[in-house]
Amino acid sequence: MKKVLLIFVILIGGAMGLLYFSNPSSNFGSSLPISTGDTRILTQQSINFLEDLQFKDFEKAATYHSTEDRKNVDIAKEIERIFLVKPEFLDIMRYEIKKVEIDRSGDRAKVKTHTVIKLLNTGKVREPEVMLYWRKDPKEGWVMKLESSL
């Protein structure tokens, strides 16, 4: 009797595990082909990029884009477009990586961040969620998509 009960419990546990891992909302199925190394790289690159923005090193911030995009990237203009404030009036006080999502192909990713900024000309504090979009380039590795990020 105990063996039958034990087998029954194992079968129920296995079925529940299969249901959990096959459920799209568990995000397990979509992340199967993705290594945690990619997630780590994207997290670190996003932190580095935000730190470069925080210290107004726009030249270094542009290096996270592809070689082709670097010719056209103007980080200062992008900051002004997104935050509606001139870069010299923007103080990024802190930031946090909230979520890293990589698509099933493993070639596209988005990193959701929470930032706390202060507008120096008004003294207002805002907390925008900024999404950074990345793509995996065969030659350059993970590069930011200029037209979508910030």
> What tens digit of pLDDT does each residue of 110-124 get?
999 999 999 999 999
Burial of 80 (0-12, 13-18, 19+ CB in 10 A): middle
| Closest by Cα among 133, 136, 137 to 148 | 133
Within a 13 Å sphere around the CA of 115, how many CA atoms are in the beta-carbon half? 24
| Closest by Cα among 122, 134, 43 to 83 | 122
Does 149 reside within a domain?
no
Q: What is the pLDDT of residues 55-75, one digit of tens each?
A: 999 999 999 999 988 888 888
Please indicate whether residue 3 or residue 35 has the higher confidence score (pLDDT). 3
First-to-last alpha carbon distance for the chain, in angstroms, is: 62
- The model's pTM: 0.73
Does 150 reside within a domain?
no
Please tell me whether residues 64 and 10 are part of one structural domain.
no
- Average pLDDT along the chain: 84
Residue 148, pLDDT score: 63
Supply the range of the domain harboring residue 11: 1-32
Domain count, the chain: 2
Please indicate whether residue 3 or residue 31 has the higher confidence score (pLDDT). 3
Backbone angles phi, psi at 129, to 5 degrees: -95, 125
Q: How much of the chain exceeds pLDDT 90, in percent? A: 57
Residue 41, pLDDT score: 96
Could you tell me the pLDDT band of residue 135, with boundaries at 50, 70 and 90?
Answer: very high
Please tell me whether residues 88 and 105 are part of one structural domain.
yes
pLDDT of 20 > 80? The answer is no
Q: Give me the mean pLDDT over the 44-65 stretch.
A: 94
Residue 101, pLDDT score: 96
Please tell me whether residues 14 and 81 are part of one structural domain.
no
